């Protein structure tokens, strides 16, 4: 294994893996730190943690456990991946995890940049922009868990880091890889431990790549990944995203209520394709677990005779008004947990009926379903839409899956996904 990655959330891990695959690496993603050695030969592994908003000490402990496993598999370089909006609190977890990894790797200098120009995240003079506006004007200042009220990443990183934080600015970036490498040496000799890096285009990320060749630890969003595979002589190739041929029945399980997903459900139904909807407003609060069980049984009985004819859609996706009513009836968190449990049970039932090709919509929903399907590792394949690739879980019961977070994907995503899988498989 060439590159070992530690990601602070599940869908962010897939985003990183997708960028590495598109730049020529064969990539495996794991959910949590594996307990066994790697099962397939790959160039990079992304260990997906859920460490973004947990207490910093726990995030550090989990990240160090991931590092240990990656090193045992022979990783030559470590990549700590966080969100492209640098989601963190003044206490962390980006700073503490970065420093713990630096200590463990005896690494005296690393970079930090969430830049991902393809998704509108750019860094200029150390300030992070989301689209056309500064981070703290982008809506992220109101985030419920990680409000980002300062767009100056040097300041933000310094607030959560013991080491001195510096900047490699756009004037250095414009002078090329050699100039960046020299700037890194200069900053390190001045006692800087972490440098924010300006990047406003994919070209900047490509230029940055060679300057990171000998850095034990790289910390970044998913964008920097596009410049790294070249350091091992790898170039984008269809080979990197090749997955085994798809088999088994097809199902779509959707628990996302984001606008894009609502559109995808509506589009799928408009084609006259079979769908079954959970209606939590019909549940009475005192008997929800029993009613979920009854609904799951009904949904599976409905799906069973249809599976041999093509994909079935089972969903909880609903519009904002209905969602509000459900949340008012059961409480926001409880409603979410129950829906996730219902969709996880449906997934396990569909798996028993022979489904081996999965489209799962929703970040939290994906977490619940992947657990119910007993999937610990997956190989990353061809991209369906930006940030959303097909994946293959090699362990029993093997299968193909794509995990689509909220607002990703075109309206025809559900049908397009299966079409791409069956065209792309080798
Ligand atoms: P997204 O990626 O769009 O944010 P998630 O799966 O992360 O989607 O989150 C959607 C949340 O909404 C989940 O907790 C899910 O269980 C919940 N949910 C889905 N449908 C309903 C519904 N009809 N009523 C209440 N909660 C729902």
Average model confidence (pLDDT) across the chain? 95
Which burial class, exposed, middle or buried, applies to 376 when counting CB atoms under 10 A from its CB (0-12, 13-18, 19+)?
Answer: middle
What is the distance in A from the centroid of ligand 1 to the CA of 419? 26
Cβ(255) to ligand 1 under 6 A? yes
Contact present, 228 and 247 (Cβ < 8 Å): no
- Alpha helices per DSSP H over 168-304: 170-174, 177-189, 202-211, 259-270, 288-303
pLDDT at 134: 98
What is the distance in A from the centroid of ligand 1 to the CA of 341? 11
Indicate the top mutation candidate among 144, 257, 347 to test ligand 1's pocket, ranked by most ligand atoms within 8 A of CB.
257
Domains of the chain listed by start with CATH number:
3-236 (3.40.50.10840), 242-424 (3.40.980.20)
Contact present, 1 and 40 (Cβ < 8 Å): no
What is the distance in A from the centroid of ligand 1 to the CA of 346? 15
- Alpha helices per DSSP H over 234-359: 259-270, 288-303, 320-330, 332-352
pLDDT at 387: 83
pLDDT in tens, 55-95: 999 999 999 999 999 999 999 999 999 999 999 998 899 99
| Calpha distance 211→228 (Å, rounded) | 10
Is pLDDT of 426 > 60?
Answer: no
pLDDT in tens, 197-241: 999 999 999 999 999 999 999 999 999 999 999 999 999 888 899
Is pLDDT of 317 > 90?
Answer: yes
Contact present, 112 and 94 (Cβ < 8 Å): yes
Of residues 176, 13, 160, the one with CA closest to residue 96? 160
What is the distance in A from the centroid of ligand 1 to the CA of 347? 15
Supply the pTM of this predicted model: 0.89
| Calpha distance 165→196 (Å, rounded) | 7
Question: Which two structure tokens, joined as six digits, stand for 343?
Answer: 């969709």
Average confidence (pLDDT) over 18-40: 93
Contact present, 151 and 161 (Cβ < 8 Å): no
Cβ(336) to ligand 1 under 6 A? yes
| Calpha distance 88→83 (Å, rounded) | 9
Query: How many angstroms separate the Cα of 337 from the Cα of each of 250, 330, 341, 343, 404?
Result: 25, 10, 6, 10, 19
Contact present, 243 and 390 (Cβ < 8 Å): yes
Cβ(363) to ligand 1 under 6 A? yes
Contact present, 332 and 285 (Cβ < 8 Å): no
pLDDT at 425: 53
pLDDT at 186: 98
Indicate the top mutation candidate among 339, 359, 366 to test ligand 1's pocket, ranked by most ligand atoms within 8 A of CB.
339
Cα atoms in the 13 Å half-sphere on the side-chain side of 86: 35
What is the distance in A from the centroid of ligand 1 to the CA of 335? 9
Is pLDDT of 112 > 70?
Answer: yes
Residue 70: its H or E element = helix 56-72
Query: How many angstroms separate the Cα of 345 from the Cα of each of 299, 306, 371?
Result: 10, 19, 10
Cis omega (within 30 of 0) on the bond before 188? no
Partners of 275 in beta bridges: 313
Sign of CA dihedral 225, 243, 7, 4: negative
Cβ(9) to ligand 1 under 6 A? no
| Calpha distance 344→43 (Å, rounded) | 31
pLDDT in tens, 85-99: 999 998 899 999 999
Among protein residues, the one with the nearest Cα to ligand 1's atom 27 is 336
| Calpha distance 168→157 (Å, rounded) | 14
Among protein residues, the one with the nearest Cα to ligand 1's atom 12 is 336
273-311: string of b/e by CB count within 10 Å (b at 16+)? bbbbebebeebeeeebeebbeebbeebbeebeeebeeeb
What is the distance in A from the centroid of ligand 1 to the CA of 422? 29
| Total count of residues recorded for the chain | 426
What is the distance in A from the centroid of ligand 1 to the CA of 254? 8
Is pLDDT of 113 > 60?
Answer: yes
Indicate the top mutation candidate among 316, 345, 407 to test ligand 1's pocket, ranked by most ligand atoms within 8 A of CB.
316
Q: How many CB atoms lie within 10 A of CB 319?
A: 11
Cβ(303) to ligand 1 under 6 A? no
Percentages helix, strand, coil for the chain (3-state, rounded to 5) are 45, 20, 35
Report helix, strand or coil for 237: coil
Is pLDDT of 332 > 90?
Answer: no
Average confidence (pLDDT) over 38-49: 93
Cβ(323) to ligand 1 under 6 A? yes
What is the distance in A from the centroid of ligand 1 to the CA of 337? 9
pLDDT at 397: 81
pLDDT at 358: 98
Cβ(227) to ligand 1 under 6 A? no
């Amino acid at each position: 294994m060439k590159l070992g990655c530690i990601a602070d959330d599940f869908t962010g891990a897939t985003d990183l893996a997708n960028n590495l695959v598109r730049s020529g690496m064969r990539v495996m993603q794991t959910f949590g730190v594996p307990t066994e050695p790697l099962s397939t030969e790959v160039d990079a592994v992304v260990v997906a943690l859920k460490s973004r908003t947990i207490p910093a000490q726990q995030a550090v402990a989990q990240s160090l456990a991931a590092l240990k496993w990656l090193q045992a598999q022979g990783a030559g370089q470590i990549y700590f991946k966080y969100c492209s909006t640098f989601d963190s609190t003044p206490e962390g977890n980006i700073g503490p995890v970065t420093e713990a990894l630096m200590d463990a790797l005896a690494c005296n200098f690393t970079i930090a940049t969430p830049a991902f120009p393809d998704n509108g995240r750019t860094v200029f003079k150390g300030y992070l922009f989301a689209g056309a506006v500064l981070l703290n004007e982008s809506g992220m200042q109101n985030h419920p868990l990680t409000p980002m009220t300062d767009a100056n990443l040097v300041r933000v990183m310094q607030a959560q880091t013991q080491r001195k934080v510096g900047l490699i600015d756009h004037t250095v970036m414009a002078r090329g890889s050699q100039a960046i490498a020299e700037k890194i040496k200069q900053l390190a000799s001045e006692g800087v431990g972490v440098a924010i890096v300006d990047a406003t285009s994919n070209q900047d990320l490509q230029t940055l790549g060679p300057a990171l060749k000998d850095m034990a630890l790289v910390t970044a969003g998913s964008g920097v990944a596009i410049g790294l595979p070249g350091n091992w002589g790898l170039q984008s190739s269809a080979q990197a995203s090749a997955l085994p041929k798809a088999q088994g029945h097809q199902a779509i399980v959707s628990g996302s209520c984001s606008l894009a997903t609502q559109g995808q459900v509506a589009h799928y139904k408009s084609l006259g394709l079979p769908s079954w909807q959970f209606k939590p407003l019909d549940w009475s609060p005192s008997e929800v677990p029993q009613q979920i069980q009854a609904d799951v049984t009904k949904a599976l009985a409905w799906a069973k005779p249809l599976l041999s004819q093509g994909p079935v859609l089972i969903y909880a996706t609903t519009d904002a008004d209905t969602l509000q009513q459900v949340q008012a009836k059961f409480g926001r968190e409880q409603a979410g947990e129950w829906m996730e449990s219902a969709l996880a049970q449906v997934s396990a039932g569909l798996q028993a009926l022979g489904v081996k090709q999965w489209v799962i919509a929703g970040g939290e929903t994906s977490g619940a379903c992947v657990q119910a399907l007993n999937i610990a590792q997956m190989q990353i394949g061809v991209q369906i839409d930006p940030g959303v690739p097909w994946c293959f879980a090699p362990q029993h019961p093997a299968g193909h899956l794509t995990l689509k977070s909220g607002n990703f994907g075109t309206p025809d995503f559900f049908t397009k996904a299966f079409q791409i899988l069956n065209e792309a498989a080798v």
